Amino acid sequence: MTGLPRTIAQRKLLPGPAETTTHRDALPPLADDPLALAPVCASCPKLCAPTCPVQGATGRESVAPWRISAVVRDSARDGWRPETLHAAASCTGCGACTHACLPGVRLPEQSRAARAAAAAEGVLLPAAATMRDRITTTGSPRPADAYADEFAAGAVPTAGTALFFGCTVQTHRAEVGRAAKALADAAGETVRCAAGEICCGAAAADLGLADETVALAESCADQLAGVEQVVVLSPGCARMMRDYWPRLGIAAPRVVTSVEWLDTLLAGGGLQPREPDGVAVAWHDPCTLARLLGVVDAPRRVLAALGLAVREPAATGLHTRCSGGGQAYPAVDATGAAAVAERRRAELAVLASPVVSACPQAERMLSGDAEPVRDILEVAAERLLGPRE
Amino acid sequence: MVTLADDLRGLLGDFAVRDDPVERRAKARDCWPRLTMRERAGETLPMPDVVVRPLTTDEVVAVYCYATEHRVPVTPYAGGSGVVGGAVATSGGICLDLSGLTGLVELDPVSGTATFRAGTPGPVAEDAAAAHGFTIGHFPSSIMCSTVGGWVAARGAGQLSTRYGKAEDMVVALEVVLPTGEVWRTRPAPRTAAGPDLWRLLAGAEGTLGTITEVTLRLHAAPAERRFGGWLFPDLRAGVEALRLVMRTGARPAVVRLYDELDTSIVLGGQGLDVGPGALLVAAVEGDPRLVAAEEEIIREVCASAQELGPGPGEHWWSHRYAVSANLPRVLAGQLLGPHGVADTIEVSALWSALPGLYDAMKASMAPHVAVVLAHVSHCYPEGASIYWTIATDAADEAEAMRRYDAAWHAAMTACLDHGGSIGHHHGVGVARAPWLAAELGTGHDVLRRVKAALDPAGIANPGKLGL
């Protein structure tokens, strides 16, 4: 009887997300002038307002997408100050607002470019100053002793497929890296580990360090020279390589996310699917993976091939909600990031199932004390290879 | 030295109070185009001294008690969706950010009512109702950022108001915090004869008599069916007469929007809907299929002399119904009519007998000041309707832009009062219409002053709005 759409999203009051990312049309990520990422906010009736996880969690109008855009506009004219930079950097880069914005403001890119513009004026985020010092002295964005030993130097790939671990896996989620290696071994894939102090540059870009971004990315690209395909364990790194490296004039191998890699292995017989056994998991779509890279169906196919039933939260797929961990937001406002994560954690808790994702950073943000959020690589290794020591 | 912010932190805690310039500046404007123009011109707008975000009615009470005792202005602000400056702290003081008062309190499925906290955003409220098979039926262009409390405080109207009514028609009960700190909860009842409907003082008061903290709304069954139609009339007058006849039958279509010839050509034509010269009527009927069929038949019969265009124009409008609201401000952002472009909307209302003359007079009054003056007639009632004007122009510089803008508004308000209209239908008064409100209300404005003096003896409740 009631065939009409019910929710606001179904009624298309909010424009639906594009099927695949539109962000690849963005201008260079570290443009000198953030306004080059125009149009800036046109002061519409704040179509972005209900989409922003940061505004929703903190209740602050100053970090609403429309307001950040205005801050960028004003700061381009008046110069940057620490407090305006803090506001402009209070964006997780989740991209939810960009799909609601009819004039087409791309706030994640604008926020990132704003950080670079401020840095060019000598106004740095506190975390950026620390990272700049570290890169200057060590060449690495993270402390050397933060990297898991097992991924240390000597594992640089020279051909074929490379597993690219990224900073978060190496410094906080080594078990995800181990699972990836185990799965590759089981699939008979000859892979090399792009590990050690290799950074794609995203960490520096998120903090507005333009020169450091280019240096890190070029160094990373050099170490991947000859590799045909790179399997990237963090969506943020994948996006950096796939979407931003070309705009920096840096050639990348074929970039594949870990989910897409698993999907291919399971479909092609490299890994044998498993029959369903009644186990259910809740799936959290990472914003970058789903909304910015357009990888939505693959993780569901993978989970099904692992014999798992998938429970979806209310905000899922292209409409997924942020974990608070993107675009260095935890370094900008740890309290705000925790509040964003808590809201998403509550949405997932309703499903009463173990939560699985495919973004090591999101997994860190969403993991509770009692129930860690696991990566799809860990789950795949456990389901297909059995429990590991 | 103890500051206002320190005092408020003592009352509400650190997290609820912010006095940094970035946050204060974010609250310095709502969606009033004149403020956007002033910012565009490089002006620093008046800001509140502190932003306070209570999470409970008790915390709102604490703020008002403090403010009255210390004579500090309090300006309620929730979504900041207003377009007349009603939520702007023109006198500084406290910005009372109501966005923390959010969520569904109670839904009565038997009676078809739902109680929301005042800061509940429109999409959240509508989705909560939809989850139980209801609709609020309130879909303003600002729905993404406007809130339930703001709808009532400014007497808003949604795009389907012809069927579901304006915000004040949807209210069953309110919870209000008065400037002196008392909490006033009105008794929910379908109708009552227990004295005057005092809660109506708060609907449209825009925070000048206190702050709405909870709203109980009447709900409607979610529509099972929706049908669209479109007709082309030779001119606006012929279309207005058709609207009048439809409404006099007792039909309550969800949408009847009649675009004047220019609006039909520029706006709808610009969206790719080219229907030829004339005044386009788009209609939508929704609800129980039996009523839908009857209303559709009535409209078709009344519009028989016009060119029937089928459902296409209505479906087109439905799919583009937020595009104008999003694109119009692009003029102010310098994206459509040059760097000093001007655009705004002005909605008025009138009885059917006065409406055609009012249309002619207002159009003639604004035309000398701006390049584009177009309108549509919508939000229809048995006895009259709203005229929704859109004005836009380019300008040589910011000074000329402001001159043209102010002149167009002055001309519009004056012509409206002179020709039997009401100066506002659903955008409220705020600062923008304040100069003309006394003329609109007559003795009523003095009544309002006396009520204000009684309820707000310290004069702290949103000073400067409604001409108070």
Q: Which pLDDT belongs to residue A227?
A: 86
Q: CB B222 to CB A4 under 8 A?
A: yes
Q: CB A44 to CB B335 under 8 A?
A: no
**Average pLDDT, integer, range B150-158:** 98
Instruction: State the nearest Cα–Cα gap between A206 and chain B, in angstroms.
Output: 22
Question: Shortest CB distance from B31 goes to which of A14, A45, A102?
Answer: A45
Query: What would the pLDDT profile of B70-116 be if each residue is shown by its tens digit?
Result: 999 999 999 999 999 999 999 999 999 999 999 999 999 999 999 99
**Average pLDDT, integer, range B330-348:** 87
How distant is the alpha carbon of residue B275 from its chain centre? 30
Q: Which pLDDT belongs to residue A337?
A: 97
Q: CB B144 to CB A86 under 8 A?
A: no
Integer Cα distance of A37 and A23 in angstroms:
11
Q: Which of B134, B145, B147, B292 to mutate to test the interface with A (most CBs of A within 10 A)?
A: B145
Residue B463 has pLDDT above 70, yes or no: yes
**Average pLDDT, integer, range A38-46:** 68
CB half-sphere exposure, B103, CA atoms < 13 A: 6
Chain A partners within 8 Å of B315 (Cβ): none
Q: For residue A132, name the pLDDT band (cuts at 50, 70, 90).
A: very high
Residue B239 has pLDDT above 80, yes or no: yes
Q: Which pLDDT belongs to residue B155?
A: 98
Q: Which of B216, B221, B298, B212 is nearest to B252 (CA)?
A: B298
Which are the contacts of B2, defined by CB distance < 8 A and separation ≥ 6?
A: none
Strand bridging mode A309-311 / A280-283: parallel
Residue B206 has pLDDT above 70, yes or no: yes
If 0-12 CB within 10 Å is exposed, 13-18 middle and 19+ buried, where does residue A52 land? Answer: buried
Integer Cα distance of B388 and B405 in angstroms:
16
Q: Which of B12, B15, B22 to mutate to test the interface with A (most CBs of A within 10 A)?
A: B22
Chain A partners within 8 Å of B134 (Cβ): none
Cα R_g (chain B), whole angstroms: 22
Token pair belonging to B253: 């279509």
Instruction: State the nearest Cα–Cα gap between A1 and chain B, in angstroms.
Output: 6
Q: Which of A150, A147, A177 is nearest to A162 (CA)?
A: A177
Token pair belonging to B179: 């400037």
Cα dist from B251 to B225, B257, B281, B382, B387, whole Å: 16, 15, 16, 9, 20
Instruction: State the nearest Cα–Cα gap between A102 and chain B, in angstroms.
Output: 6
If 0-12 CB within 10 Å is exposed, 13-18 middle and 19+ buried, where does residue A27 land? Answer: middle
Instruction: State the nearest Cα–Cα gap between A11 and chain B, in angstroms.
Output: 10
Q: CB A3 to CB B224 under 8 A?
A: yes
Query: What would the pLDDT profile of A330-339 be if each residue is shown by its tens digit?
Result: 999 999 999 9
Query: What would the pLDDT profile of A147-170 be if each residue is shown by its tens digit?
Result: 666 665 445 555 688 889 888 988
Q: CB B326 to CB A1 under 8 A?
A: no
Q: Which pLDDT belongs to residue A32?
A: 44
Residue A93 identity: G
What residues pair up with B107 in beta bridges, in sequence order? B114
Q: CB B123 to CB A8 under 8 A?
A: yes
What is the model's pTM? Answer: 0.88
